[in-house]
Chains A and B, each alone.
Chain A
Amino acid sequence: SFELTQPPSVSVSPGQTARITCSGDVLPKSYGHWYQQKPGQAPVLVIYKDTERPSGIPERFSGSTSGTVLTLVISGVRAEDEADYYCQSADDGVRKFGGGTRLTVL
């Protein structure tokens, strides 16, 4: 089994850049994905394959990876970006989510 570790919370002011990290030993060999979840709603995929952005996701969302750390970057944060963010990866067919990061827009 493997683990993905995220900080519980990140806070930024509107217009600033938010960076949410996800660390795990599996990340150098498996793709990571990011999901946004707002209260009472299903998750929404915002980044897949470490750095790819699905159609319909604003350009201010981007992803990067370096070794065992995956990073979700939200540039020019807006109030509507306040949500929980989860990373996900896989190893030998088994998937895992990180514990989630609550993004607060001050």
Chain B
Amino acid sequence: QAHLVESGGGVVQPGRSLTLSCAASGFPFRSYAMHWVRQAPGKGLDWVAVISYNGGQTYYDDSVKGRFTVSRDNSRDVLYLQMTRLRPEDTAVYFCARTSDHGASDYWGRGTLVTVTS
């Protein structure tokens, strides 16, 4: 059974940086593309970024392009999201999700809350 656990969230001031981690277990992590998805309080799901199984390809939503970087360590089964120049509108619960060949995300973590406030 696949298991994903996010960590690294917290309270941060606008303009600062934060790095989120997602520890994977129960499946061959290096074989799957992985996504970051966020959800602002009381709002809908908002796709953030995707990284291919080997890290060779990455894509970002326009709202985070140039500020966020997704990466992975397949030797440690960990996914990362480096967030820089954070804005109050980045406040959200951040989920990591495994994506299968069909493009849908079939396993999700429980999320970690990032609050950007002065």
Chain A residues with CB under 8 Å of chain B are 1, 31, 33, 35, 37, 42-45, 48-49, 52, 54, 84, 86, 88, 90, 93-100
Dominant secondary structure of chain A at its interface with chain B: strand
- Whether B50 and A93, one on each chain, are in contact in the complex, defined by CB atoms closer than 8 angstroms, is yes
* Interface-facing stretch out of B23-31, B40-48, B71-79: B40-48
**Residue with the greatest number of chain B CB neighbours at <10 A, chosen from A54, A86, A94, A100:** A94
Which residues of chain B come closer than 8 Å to A88, judged between CB atoms?
Answer: 45, 47, 104-105
- Report which of A35, A42, A52, A97 forms a contact with B46, defined as CB distance below 8 A: A97
Q: How far is the CA of A41 from the CA of B106 in the complex (A)?
A: 14
- Per-position contact with A for B34-74: 1 when CB-CB < 8 Å, else 0? 01010000001111001000000101111000000000000
- Report which of A35, A52, A86, A96 forms a contact with B102, defined as CB distance below 8 A: A52
- Whether B102 and A31, one on each chain, are in contact in the complex, defined by CB atoms closer than 8 angstroms, is yes
Which residues of chain B come closer than 8 Å to A45, judged between CB atoms?
Answer: 104-106
Q: Can you spell out 19 A-B residue pairs with CB atoms less than 8 angstroms apart? A: A1-B62, A31-B102, A33-B103, A42-B108, A43-B37, A43-B108, A45-B105, A45-B106, A48-B100, A52-B102, A88-B45, A94-B47, A94-B60, A94-B61, A95-B47, A97-B37, A97-B44, A98-B44, A99-B44
- Report which of B50, B62, B104, B108 forms a contact with A33, defined as CB distance below 8 A: B104
Say which size band chain B's interface belongs to.
20 to 34
